[in-house]
Structure 1
Amino acid sequence: MSSGSRRAYRTGLSPGVIIDAALALTVERGLDAWSMRDLAARLDTSLSVIYHHVGDRDRVCAAVVDRVYAGMDLNIDEMDWRKLLYGVLSAMIDHLAHYPGVAAWLLRNGPQTEELVPVLDAGVARMLDAGWGEESATAYSVAFNTCLGLIALGDQQVSGTDPGLAGLLHLLETYPSAGSGAKQMQQMVARFTTDDEGLAATRRDYCLYALDRVLDGLEARLNQLTNRTTTAR
């Protein structure tokens, strides 16, 4: 190819503009569903420009996750461990629903981005202050990963060959000897097979319910730990 026929790529890009484009692709397709070539095409630039300003795909994805968390209004000054966790995780449930794939990325990689370090530090510190001791980080991660797992599950799209929850609903509706337990499950599953707006609300309610129950369980465990400490004295 002669120099005269080379494509004139867009110039003057900054890391911020590149991350803006990657974030937009994440909203449209999901974090795992776009490639670096897709990003370069969106920006009308070359891969080398992206590598120069931000880095490889791992670095771009980490920067996207940081940008997502920077957009959350998190109160990490709350001193009560349960209130802090509920505030952070309920905000995460609402916010990450708009950025498919980010929850799954966090499950795979952990909170290894700059925006998440202060959140982690504050959360585990409150657990330590409350008396969790050596279980502080484990208890924190159980609450965090439970919510991430449910968000990531909600991000999954049913393939053309999978019946999805509609298949389960049909089975429960037509099973000849379904009892009260199956009927109760049928009512719940039906809420997950509604229109997009109703589905989003159902997923949110489900995640918040799970968060409350996880925190209830953790609080019961903390009572065991503190009672054990009191008895030992």
Structure 2
Amino acid sequence: MSQSSRRAYRRGLSRELVIDAALALTAERGLDGWSMRDLTSHLDTSLSVIYHHVGDRERVCASVVDRIFTEMDLVIDGSDWRTLLRTVLSAMIEHLVVYPGVAAWLLRNGPQTEQLLPLLDAGVTRMLDAGWGEEAAIAYSFAFNACLGAIALGDQDLGATGAGLAGLGQLIESQPSVGSGAARMRVMVARFTGDVTERAAARRDYCRYTLDRVLGGLEARLREIEDARPAPS
């Protein structure tokens, strides 16, 4: 390709426009549902132009994740560790549903983005200030990973006939003699395999339940740490 052709390919494109396109593909197909070829086709450009403006696919994905967290407009203020975690994780539960696959990407890669590093620093610092000591980083990571896991689970097609929870529901239905425990599970499964609106509501409720239980467990653990400290002499 000549120098003039390369300039023509790059004309009118920018880093922001490349990320815009990748974000749109992520909302439509999920983060793992599009390729760099799909992205170049969407932008009517070449792979070299994508590399020039952003980088390889992992850099594009990291930039998409950064953009998503920018959209959340999170404010890192003087809140304590509990408030910070609840605010950030609640926002993730509401926002990442629009972008399937992002939670799974974060589970695989950790917060390797420019937007998330300051958040990580602030969160772990709040936990150190609260007395978590050597457990500060692992407790912070546990809270994020537990909620990301719940969100990522919701990205799966749990309502597919004969698979996943739908298969479990069919199995329970086929056993009329099951007891109250399986019957209660059937009620839950019905929510996760119902219509689109019901599935979305069930997913959010499950993620919020996970967040509440995680924060409750962390608060109990911090009390144990505080109780185990030697009394001042």
TM over 0.5, yes or no?
Answer: yes
Within a 5 Å distance, the mapping from 1:103-122 to structure 2 comes to 103-122=103-122
Cα RMSD, aligned residues only:
1.9
Q: Give the residue type in structure 2 aligned to 1:166.
A: A
Report deviation, 1:187.
Answer: 0.9
For 2:225, the equivalent position in structure 1 comes to 225
Q: Give the residue type in structure 1 aligned to 2:119.
A: V
Report deviation, 1:174.
Answer: 2.4
Alpha-carbon separation, structure 2, partners of 1:9 and 1:128: 50
Change (3 A) 1:214 1:164: same
CA contact (8 A) 1:10 1:44 kept: no
CA contact (8 A) 2:19 2:60 kept: yes
Alpha-carbon separation, structure 2, partners of 1:32 and 1:193: 23
Alpha-carbon separation, structure 1, partners of 2:191 and 2:29: 25
Within a 5 Å distance, the mapping from 1:1-233 to structure 2 comes to 9=9, 11-157=11-157, 163-231=163-231
Q: Give the residue type in structure 1 aligned to 2:53.
A: H
Q: Give the residue type in structure 2 aligned to 1:151.
A: I
Alpha-carbon separation, structure 1, partners of 2:54 and 2:12: 14
Change (3 A) 1:50 1:203: same
Alpha-carbon separation, structure 2, partners of 1:39 and 1:17: 11
So what's the TM-score if we normalise by structure 1? Answer: 0.92
Q: Give the residue type in structure 2 aligned to 1:199.
A: R
Alpha-carbon separation, structure 2, partners of 1:230 and 1:219: 19
Alpha-carbon separation, structure 2, partners of 1:208 and 1:214: 10
So what's the TM-score if we normalise by structure 2? Answer: 0.92
Number of matched pairs: 227
Change (3 A) 1:84 1:160: closer
Report deviation, 1:49.
Answer: 0.8
Report deviation, 1:159.
Answer: 9.7
Q: Bigger CA drift: 173-182 or 106-115? A: 173-182
Alpha-carbon separation, structure 2, partners of 1:162 and 1:194: 14
Structure 1 gap segments, 5+ residues each: 1-7
Alpha-carbon separation, structure 1, partners of 2:202 and 2:161: 24
CA contact (8 A) 1:75 1:84 kept: no
Report deviation, 1:160.
Answer: 7.0
Report deviation, 1:194.
Answer: 1.1
Per-residue CA deviations over 1:149-179 (Å, capped at 9, x if unaligned) read 1111111236978522111112112213211
Per-residue CA deviations over 1:162-204 (Å, capped at 9, x if unaligned) read 5221111121122132111111111111110111111111100
CA contact (8 A) 2:159 2:192 kept: no
Structure 2 gap segments, 5+ residues each: 1-7
